[in-house]
Chains A and B, each alone.
Chain A
C-alpha cells in the first residue's frame, strides 16, 4: 500500500518566542526548527504499517526551502521518498492554502492512506488533514490512537474526551490525523541517515494560492489573566517562602 505522511517543520518547543516588529508573526529569522511532534507519530505509524503490509511510505511537506530538513529526517527514519511543495508563502499559510498545496503536490499519486499529525505546534489549526480529505474526496477520522488495515477496510481507534475511545471502520483510501503517543518513536540510525542521502526529494512548485480565508491582523504576547507572585531567591529560600505562602496565605494544607 502507498501511505502518504504530511509533515510540517515548526520552530522548536524550547524557542523563546518573540513577536516581530510588524506584529504580524514571530521573529523566526534565526529560529531552530524541528519536525512537528504529532507528525513524527504519524510517520512512525506509517513505517509500522509498511512493515506489516508492505508498500511504500511517501512524505510530503509544504513550505519554504528550509523544510527539506524535516523531509531528509523522515527519509533517514525510513520513509522511501519525499515531495517538497515549495513556496515561501506557505510558511505562514492558512489551513486551506496548506491543504491545497499538499493536494497539488500529491498530484496523480495513487494513494491508499494519508496520515498526518492532529495539529501543528505553531498555528495549531487542527484543520489541514480534514480539509485535505475533502479535497481528495476521501473518508477521514481524527485524533487516532490505533490503525488497523484489513484488506480494503480500515479500522481506527479514535480518542474521545475524558479517557473514552471508539473504534470506527471506513473504506480506504482515507485520511487520518494521528494523536501523539500512538506509538513509540524511532530515531534515525547512522545507516538510515546514509541511506537517506540517496533517496529522492522531488520539488514541486506551490500552486497559485487560493484567496486567503483568514488574515492575521496582530500577534502579541497574551495578557495575564492572573496576578502571579513570582518567588525569587536561592532554591532553599524560594522553597521555604512558597511553603509558607501555601500554608498561611493560600491555606491549602
Chain B
C-alpha cells in the first residue's frame, strides 16, 4: 500500500498534491491518499476522483492550522496503525518542515526533492538532483518500510493522474493528536508588502542572476529590458543583496511566471529559480559557463560574457 500525503490550507486543496498522486500511481498499487486537517471533507472528495483505493480525511481540531508537531503526531500514529510501503509527498515548504521529523520519529528512510522514478528493478530508484542541478543521482532506499519520498513541484504532471471510473471511498479518521504537546504556536500568514509589480502578467521578462556581479551593472539589464519592452526580474541572491526589490524575485520563494519570453542573464539555473520560470514559452539563457544548468531548459543559449553580448543585443533591437 502506497500512501500519498496530500496538502490543503483552510480546506482548499494544494494543486501540487495531484503531482504526488501521479508519482504514487507510477510507483505502484494500491494507492491511498491521506489528507490531514480539521474539516477537509470537500477537498478529500475532490481527491477521490483519482484512481485510488481510498481517501482518508485525517481530522483533528488541532490540525486546523499546520504545525510540524501536530502533523508528525497525526501521521506517525496513522502509519503505525495502518502500515504502508511508501509515503509520497510533494516537496512543498510544508513538507520540508515536517517530513524529516516524521521520518526520524518513525526511524525510516526519506529521500527528498525527487524528479523521477525508475521502476522495474528489484527496488524503485528515486532520481534526485545534486550539486545545484549539475548532476542527477539514482537513489535506492534501505531499511524497513515505509520509505518516505518527496517529489519536486513540476516533476510529475497533475494532469497525468489516472482518474477512477467512480469516486474512491472517503473515510474520516479521527487523528491521534495531543494538542498540548504541540510546541509551535503559529500566527496568521501575511504578505510583506503589496505587490506593486505583477510579473505573472508580463509577456516578456529579463531576469538577472549572480552573473550580473554588482549593483551598478543592473542598469545594463534595465536598458535591455526597456529595449525588449520587458519587465525586469531576478533570482533570489540579487533580491537578497537588495539590488532589486523582493517583489521582483522569480522562484520558489518569489513569483511563478509563464511569459512568452524569459531571458535569463547570468542565472545558473538552481532549482529554486527554475521552478518559478520553467513554464515560459521561450527561454533564452546567456551565461559564460557553458555547463550552467540553465542551458538544460533553454530554447536558445549563448555561452558568453553577458557584458559583451547585452550591449550588442540592445543595438540589434534598435
Contacts and interface: CB of A to CB of B under 8 A. Distances in A.
- Chain B contact residues, majority secondary structure: mixed
Given A163-B247, A252-B204, A226 B240 contact: no
Interface string B286-304: 0001110101111111111
A39 to B, nearest CB: 15
Contacts of A134: 100-101, 104-105
A124 B299 contact: no
Interface in B79-121: 92-93, 96-98, 100-101, 103-105, 108-113
B301 A229 contact: yes
Nearest to B228: A253
A182 B301 CA distance: 33
B184 interface: yes
B311 to A, nearest CB: 8
Nearest to B148: A213
Contact of B135 (A17, A118, A225, A226): A17
B101 A130 contact: yes
Nearest to B278: A225
Contacts of B103: 127, 131
Interface in A79-122: 95-96, 99, 118, 121-122
Interface in A45-96: 95-96
Nearest to A226: B297
B101 A165 contact: no
Nearest to B185: A169
Interface string A131-144: 10111000111110
Contacts of B254: 162-163
Contacts of A124: 112-113, 129-130, 132
Contacts of B184: 139, 141, 168-170
A211 interface: yes
Interface stretch (A1-9, A190-198, A199-207, A242-250): A242-250
Interface residues of B, number: 90
B135 A220 contact: yes
A217 interface: yes
Contacts of B290: 230
B218 interface: no
Nearest to A220: B136
A246 B284 contact: yes
Interface string A171-185: 100100001110000
A125 B228 contact: no
A127 B255 CA distance: 25
- Could you say which of A127, A168, A220, A227 has the most chain B C-beta atoms within 10 Å of its C-beta? A127
A134 B284 CA distance: 44
Given A180-B236, A218-B137, A239 B309 contact: yes
Contact of A126 (B96, B304, B313): B96
A253 to B, nearest CB: 7
B69 interface: yes
A-B residue pairs, 7 tightest by C-beta: A181-B240, A239-B312, A130-B100, A213-B109, A134-B104, A235-B308, A139-B183
30 contacts: A16-B289, A124-B130, A128-B100, A130-B101, A134-B104, A140-B101, A158-B97, A159-B253, A161-B252, A162-B254, A163-B246, A165-B190, A165-B191, A167-B186, A169-B187, A181-B239, A211-B142, A213-B143, A219-B135, A220-B135, A228-B296, A228-B298, A228-B300, A229-B299, A230-B301, A239-B312, A239-B313, A239-B315, A242-B300, A242-B313
